[in-house]
Chains A and B, each alone.
Chain A
Amino acid sequence: MACSITIRDVRKTYGQFVALDSVSLDIAPGEFLTLLGPSGSGKTTLLMILAGLIRPEAGSITVDGDEILRKPPHLRNIGMVFQNYALFPHMSVGENVGYPLKLRKVGAAERYERAREALKLVQLDHLMDRRINQLSGGQRQRVALARAIVFEPQILLMDEPLSALDKKLREQMQIELKHLHDRLGMTTVYVTHDQREALTMSDRVAVMNHGHILQVAPPRQIYERPSDRFVADFVGESNFLPVEMRDGAAIFGGTALQLAEGQAAGSGNKALLVRPEKLDILSAAPAPEHNPIDGTVEELVYQGETMLIYVTLPGGETIALRRGTRQQALSEMPQVGEPIRLGLHRDDTVLIDEAAHA
C-alpha cells in the first residue's frame, strides 16, 4: 500500500549556486523520514522536486520502482504542506480543505464531511466558513496541514508544518501526526528546523547542509553517533575537545582517554564530542570507568528544568554540562570560581574526525 521512494544523484543549481548536489536517498514504504538542516540547506528544494514542482538538472526518482521525474505534478498523487502554506485566499477554510477532494470528484456532501474530519484533527472544525485572511498564522498552518492529508495521499511531504505553533500545540500536533501516520501508513518526508521534533517523530533523520545529505540514520544514532562534526554540532548541544591520536590511543590533556568500543580507530587530529547531559560531577570517590576532566566553574545559567554549568578547562576551552534542578541537586551545585572535576563515562565517548569539518 505505502510506497518506497528512491532518490538517485538528484542535482539542482540556480545559476552558479548549487542548491542540491547529487543527493541520493532511499525511503522505505511507510517510513517517517525527516530532513533536518540549517536554513538554505536545500530541504524545500528537495521536497519541491519530489512533488514535481521544481525540475532538477539530473538524477532519478522512483516510486515503487517507477520513474516519476518526468511525470507532471498533478498526476503524482503526493500530498504536500507548503512552507508558506499556499492557501487559496478566494476560498473559505472548508473549500480549501475540500479542494483536493473536489479534484477527485468526491461529491459535495462527502467532501464536506471529510474536510470537517481533517479540520477536526487540527482542531479547526469550528472555522470551516472563515476566509483565509481572517485566520492567525498558526491557524493557517493547520489548515494547510488538513488540506494535505484530507485526500489520504500515499506520500506526504511536509515543509515545517508546525513551525508557527506554540510549544504546547506543536507537541499536540506532533502526536496527532504520529497517530495519523501510524493509522494511514503513508510514506512521509518531513522538514523541520527543530531537532527535538526531528528526533521525536522520525524513523530516520537525514541531516543536510549546503545541498548535501551528511548522514541518514535513526534518531538515536544521529544523536549518539554523529558521523561528522557538522551533524554533531547541529543536532543537540555539543562541546568539542581537541584530541591527538597516537598509536591507537586518544590523548587529551596529556593522558590517554578510555574509549567506548569501536572509537579507537584512525589517526591524526580528532575531537572528543561531549554532550552537556553526559557529564558527571565526580566526587572524591574513585570512578574507574570515567575519564576525569578538571576545570573551573565559569558561569551558572538557570533554565527551568535544568541548570547549565559552564566550566573552563586548563587548555582554555569552555564546556557546558547540564544538571537537573531538584532542590537537593541545587544545594550541591558548585559555585562560580570553584575548581570542579567532571567525569565522562567511557561508553559516552565519541570521537569525531576534525578533517570532516569543512
Chain B
Amino acid sequence: MHDMTACQRGHTLNRQELAADERREKRQILGLSLPAAAIILILLVIPVGWLFALSFVSNGEIGLANYARMVEYSAYLSIFSTTILVSLFVTLLCIVLGYPVAYLLGQLPPRLATIGLAFVIVPFWTSILVRTYAWLVILQRQGIVNDALIGIGLIDEPLRLAHNLTGTIIGMTHVMLPFLVLPLYATVRNIDGDLMRAANNMGASPARAFRDVFLPLSMPGLIAGSLLVFILCLGFYVTPQILGGGRVIMVSMKIQQNVQTYFDWGAGSALGVVLLLIVFAIFYLVHRLAGLDRIFAR
C-alpha cells in the first residue's frame, strides 16, 4: 500500500485487457445483429432505393417529370391534403375512443384485463377486406343502421353513411383502433398505481392526479400508438377504396391507379417517395415538439 510504484502499477493494471474485452463485446453484439441488418437491407433498403430510382424515370427518360406533374396539377395537392386530413381525423378519433379503453383495461385486475384485451385483438384475426365489407353492409342505404333508425321513426330518409367520407372514417377508425390501444395499454399497465395514490394523498383530486401524473406518464404509449395509426392511415388503401365510393381519393389509390391502369411505375414511385418524405417530416416534427428520445428512453 505504501509502495508508490505498486499503486501506480495498480492504476494501469489490466487497462489494455479490459479495453480489449470491451472491443470484443462490441464485436459480438455487432455480429449478433448482422442477420437482422441483412434482412432489413434486403427487404427494406433495396426496394425503397429501387422505388426512389424509379421515381426519376418517366416515359423512358430520366428526369424530374414525375415530380413536376405533382406540382403542376392541383388534383395532387387535394389528394395529399385529403390523405393527411383523413389520417389526422382518424388518429384523433382513435385517441378519443381508444384512450378510455386502454385506461379501463389498465385499471382492471389482470384476469379481466386479459379478456378485455382479447376483444381488442380479435378483429385482427379477420381480414381487413371482410371487416370493410361488413361495414358496408351495416352502413349502406338499406343497411342495418338506416333500417333501425327509420324503424324507430328517428329519420324518414336514409342517412348517407357509406360511399363517402363518413363511411371511410368509420371504417378506418375501426381498423386502426387496436394499433392505438395496444401500445397505449402496454404503457398504462406499467404505471405504478401508488403514483396516483401518492398524488391523491398529497391533495390532488382524481381528475387533477390524472392530469398531472397519469396523462404525462401515458404519453410514450399514446405518442407511439398515434404515430403508428397516423402512418398506417397515410398508406391505407382497402377501406377508403371500398367505403369511400370514389369520393375519397387517397394517395395509395392514386398510386394503384398509376401502376395498374397506366402502367406508369415512375409516377407511382414518385408518389410513394413523397409519402415517405411526409412520414419522415412528421417523425421529425414530433421529435422536435415532444422529444421522442426523451419520451421513449424513460
Chain A residues with CB under 8 Å of B209's CB are 74
Across the two chains, which residue of chain A brings its CB closest to B209? A74
Interface presence of A53 (CB below 8 A) = yes
Query: Could you tell me the distance between the alpha carbons of A328 and B130 in the complex, rounded to whole angstroms?
Result: 93
Is the beta-carbon distance between A74 and B200 smaller than 8 angstroms?
yes
> Which of A80-88, A163-171, A188-196, A222-230 binds B?
A80-88
Is the beta-carbon distance between B217 and A99 smaller than 8 angstroms?
no
Interface presence of A89 (CB below 8 A) = yes
Query: Could you tell me the distance in whole angstroms from the C-beta of A246 to the nearest C-beta in chain B?
Result: 56
Interface presence of B72 (CB below 8 A) = no
Interface presence of B195 (CB below 8 A) = yes
Query: Could you tell me the distance between the alpha carbons of A48 and B201 in the complex, rounded to whole angstroms?
Result: 10
Interface presence of B202 (CB below 8 A) = yes
Chain A residues with CB under 8 Å of B200's CB are 52-53, 72-74
Interface presence of A77 (CB below 8 A) = yes
Query: Could you tell me the distance in whole angstroms from the C-beta of A38 to the nearest C-beta in chain B?
Result: 22
Chain A residues with CB under 8 Å of B278's CB are none
Interface presence of A275 (CB below 8 A) = no
Is the beta-carbon distance between B192 and A86 smaller than 8 angstroms?
yes
- Interface class of chain B by DSSP: helix
Interface presence of A207 (CB below 8 A) = no
Is the beta-carbon distance between A74 and B192 smaller than 8 angstroms?
no
Range for the number of chain A residues in contact with chain B: 20 to 34
Contact partner of B197 (CB less than 8 A), chosen from A53, A89, A103, is: A53
Query: Could you tell me the distance between the alpha carbons of A231 and B204 in the complex, rounded to whole angstroms?
Result: 39
Query: Could you tell me the distance between the alpha carbons of A147 and B201 in the complex, rounded to whole angstroms?
Result: 11
Which residues in chain B, 207-244, are within 8 Å of chain A measured between CB atoms?
208-209, 212-213, 216-217
Interface presence of A51 (CB below 8 A) = yes
Query: Could you tell me the distance between the alpha carbons of A104 and B204 in the complex, rounded to whole angstroms?
Result: 9
Contact partner of B204 (CB less than 8 A), chosen from A51, A82, A89, A103, is: A103
Interface presence of B150 (CB below 8 A) = no
Residue with the highest number of chain B CB atoms closer than 10 Å, among A79, A84, A86: A86
Query: Could you tell me the distance in whole angstroms from the C-beta of B212 to the nearest C-beta in chain A?
Result: 7
How many contacts between A and B, using CB within 8 angstroms?
Answer: 65
Interface presence of A310 (CB below 8 A) = no
Query: Could you tell me the distance in whole angstroms from the C-beta of A159 to the nearest C-beta in chain B?
Result: 11
A68-101 CB mask vs B (1 if < 8 Å, else 0) is 0000111111111010101111100000000110
Is the beta-carbon distance between A86 and B197 smaller than 8 angstroms?
yes
Contact partner of A88 (CB less than 8 A), chosen from B195, B203, B206, is: B195
Interface presence of B298 (CB below 8 A) = yes
Chain A residues with CB under 8 Å of B194's CB are 82, 84, 86
Interface presence of A240 (CB below 8 A) = no
Query: Could you tell me the distance between the alpha carbons of A103 and B194 in the complex, rounded to whole angstroms?
Result: 18
Chain B residues with CB under 8 Å of A77's CB are 203
Is the beta-carbon distance between B216 and A82 smaller than 8 angstroms?
no
Chain B residues with CB under 8 Å of A74's CB are 200-206, 208-209
Which residues in chain B, 171-198, are within 8 Å of chain A measured between CB atoms?
192, 194-195, 197-198
Is the beta-carbon distance between A51 and B201 smaller than 8 angstroms?
yes
Is the beta-carbon distance between B208 and A86 smaller than 8 angstroms?
no
Contact partner of A80 (CB less than 8 A), chosen from B192, B201, B213, B217, is: B201
Known: A51-B201, A74-B202, A90-B217. 13 other contacts (CB 8 A): A53-B197, A53-B200, A72-B205, A74-B203, A77-B203, A78-B201, A80-B201, A84-B194, A87-B198, A88-B195, A88-B199, A88-B213, A104-B203
* Complex A-B, nearest 5 residue pairs according to Cβ-Cβ distance, in ascending order: A86-B198, A100-B202, A86-B194, A103-B203, A73-B200
List 17 contacting pairs A-B, 8 Å CB cutoff, sorted by A.
A48-B197, A52-B201, A53-B201, A74-B200, A74-B206, A76-B201, A82-B198, A88-B195, A90-B216, A90-B217, A90-B298, A99-B202, A100-B202, A100-B203, A103-B202, A103-B203, A104-B203
Chain B residues with CB under 8 Å of chain A are: 192, 194-195, 197-206, 208-209, 212-213, 216-217, 298
